[in-house]
Amino acid sequence: MSESTPAAPNYAKRGKSRTPIIITAIVVIALIIGAAVFFLTKPKGGGNAADNEITIGLVLEPSSLDVRENTGVATGQILIDNVYQGLVGIKPGTVSEIVPVLATELPQVSADGREYTFTLHSGVKFHSGNELTADDVVDSLTASLTDSTVGFTPTVTKVDAQTVKVSLTEPNNLLLWFLANQSGLILETAATNNPQSTANGTGPYTFEQWKKGDSLTLARNADYWGEPATLDRAVFRFFPEGRAAVNALKDGDLDVHTALLPPLRAEFENNSNFSLVRAESSDVFTLAYNSQQAPLNDPKVRQALSMAIDSEALLGTQNGDAKVIGSPITELEPGYVDLTSVNAYNPERARELLLEAGHPNLSLTITAPNHYDTTSLDLVTSQLAEVGVSVKVKSVEFATWLSEVYQNRDFQLSYVDHAEARDFANYANPDYYFGYDNAEVQKLYAEALATTDQADSEALLQQAAKLVAEDAPAKWLFNYTPTNVVATNVAGFPEVNTNSRVNLAGITVK
């Protein structure tokens, strides 16, 4: 899920503007002298530290820097890949391609799919200065890979100083996925830092400072074990209010802003200082139904609500930043199948189903985080009204949404962006906030995880996804493909899943 901050920050200018200024003759001379000194003393392959910095605008601010425990995507969006790393990671430019990181190569996997053996890079250091050991890996993964976090509990053992083995009681082809994400991040066992307000990883950038309500700064790790960072510093600034982000971009206080609100895209379409890049993503704006609460525990009611919503019309609210989706799995993920015809827009049938269910007139409440643009939600409420469903929108802070909806399931309908990839497990988990419980879906999903044949796994996922779509525990409103606004002096900014991870590798600023 996405995450929010409680209040808009008071932003300070960063002191860099693209607006021409008038300079005096004295300043001109000083600049010439300074330039001469710079070029005489400039280190090989490096740039001016002040210039080799990027400032990136994000919509969401972390509520905590505890990358293992924090709920929501905002913490990992900044810290995963840049500060914290796992044995494996996600290849930049993809959603789910696994690549080695702290491991020298992808693991050796036993023929039965139950043992994964990893060889560690040597010379890796945490930002504390201490070297990474196999014991750190064992301790981290033992703590994070549990039944409550990933649905199974492997045994992690140290083979020797550079080798670690992960053993499963049953094959699970999602293991590498978990290892490449939050659950697989390696923390230092002996760390003494406060993980809620600081960070200590092995990545190419170190945590420098966090000005709550304003910004979080990462700095180049001069002692990095791998390929050096391309930037001296990266400043992430938080703009929950879209107009403030637009002003900061135009004033030269931001180099990049991710997930520009769709109605604001036109402000940059003819601006030669910026490029607009739609980022492919696994984000799905989801209208979830509480399947454990009447009348939403009746499949007919859920199906009717889904049929009342015109997904094609919703695309018009996103200014091109969205795709129609009828499935709990996006096109970028294994197991995708086109299910847009299931419970498709059919208001007449929606009215019939509500009548059959004994609810020709319903009054429902949608609980939604308050940082989203409301255009699409307004359209959803009007479409539901057309089939006799009166809807009230309850707009709340994200922390409240987490407490009421995600944790306590005290809701009827929920509107939220599910930004995490490969999260089909939510539909096979009756304890998830949807409250959706289908034994056949759970069986198919378990079989999909247990097979070592990728084609078989995808076929099983497709079967399970079709059942889920028919049961309608949620309406997948649209696959969000957010627009990133990137200044023309920036190269290499990622173009995939930037709402979940902003990997700084290879980014340069001219």
pLDDT of res. 32: 42
Alpha carbon distance 488, 505 (integer Å) = 18
pLDDT of res. 43: 33
Measure the CA dihedral 284/289/292/294, to 10°: 180
Q: Is the peptide bond before 100 cis (omega within 30 degrees of 0)?
A: no
pLDDT of res. 3: 44
pLDDT of res. 189: 97
Alpha carbon distance 392, 481 (integer Å) = 27
Q: Are 460 and 448 in contact (CB under 8 A)?
A: yes
Alpha carbon distance 387, 407 (integer Å) = 31
For the residues of 117-157, what is the DSSP string, one character each?
EEEBPSS-B-TTSPBP-HHHHHHHHHHHSSHHHHSS--EEE
pLDDT of res. 310: 97
Per-residue pLDDT of the chain (510 residues; tens, 9 = 90+): 554 333 333 333 444 444 444 444 444 444 444 444 433 333 333 333 356 999 999 998 999 999 988 777 899 999 999 999 999 999 988 888 999 999 999 999 999 999 999 999 999 999 999 999 999 999 999 999 999 888 899 999 999 999 999 999 999 999 999 999 999 999 999 999 999 999 999 999 999 999 999 999 999 999 999 999 999 999 999 998 999 999 999 999 999 999 999 999 999 999 999 999 999 999 999 999 999 999 999 999 999 999 999 999 999 999 999 999 999 999 999 999 999 999 999 999 999 999 999 999 999 999 999 988 899 999 999 999 999 999 999 999 988 999 999 999 999 999 999 988 899 999 999 999 999 999 999 999 999 999 989 999 999 999 999 999 999 999 999 999 999 999 999 999 999 999 999 999 999 998
List phi, psi (to 5°) of 454.
Answer: -65, -40
pLDDT of res. 10: 39
Q: Are 81 and 505 in contact (CB under 8 A)?
A: yes
pLDDT of res. 51: 66
Q: Are 50 and 474 in contact (CB under 8 A)?
A: no
Alpha carbon distance 300, 266 (integer Å) = 41
SS3 427: helix
Q: Which residues are within 8 A (CB) of 320 and not within 5 positions of it... i.e. 6 or more apart? A: 262, 265, 278
pLDDT of res. 45: 30
Token pair for residue 223? 């002692």
SS3 442: helix
Residue 316 has what DSSP assignment? G
Q: Which residues are within 8 A (CB) of 90 and not within 5 positions of it... i.e. 6 or more apart? A: 81, 96, 97, 98, 99, 180, 181, 501
Q: Are 499 and 279 in contact (CB under 8 A)?
A: yes
Listed in order, strand segments (DSSP E) in 370-412 are: 389-396
pLDDT of res. 1: 59
Residue the block writes with tokens 């971009």: 249
How many angstroms separate the first and last alpha carbons of the chain? 34
pLDDT of res. 419: 86
Distance of CA 208 to the CA centre of its chain: 22
pLDDT of res. 96: 84
pLDDT of res. 133: 98
Residue 361, number of CB atoms within 10 A of its CB: 10
What 3 state SS string does 479-497 have? EECCEEEEECCEECCCCEC
The string of pLDDT tens digits covering residues 96-153 is 899 999 999 999 999 999 999 999 999 999 999 999 999 999 999 999 999 988 889 9
Looking from the CA of 267 toward its CB, the CA atoms found within 13 Å total 17
Indicate the burial class of 63 (C-beta count within 10 angstroms; 0-12, 13-18, 19 or more): buried
Q: Are 96 and 332 in contact (CB under 8 A)?
A: yes
Q: Are 164 and 121 in contact (CB under 8 A)?
A: no
Strand partners, 287: 415, 475
Q: Are 29 and 36 in contact (CB under 8 A)?
A: no
Q: Which residues are within 8 A (CB) of 280 and not within 5 positions of it... i.e. 6 or more apart? A: 95, 332, 481, 495, 496, 497
Q: Which residues are within 8 A (CB) of 127 and not within 5 positions of it... i.e. 6 or more apart? A: 83, 199, 200, 201, 202, 206, 207, 221
Residue the block writes with tokens 């739609």: 278
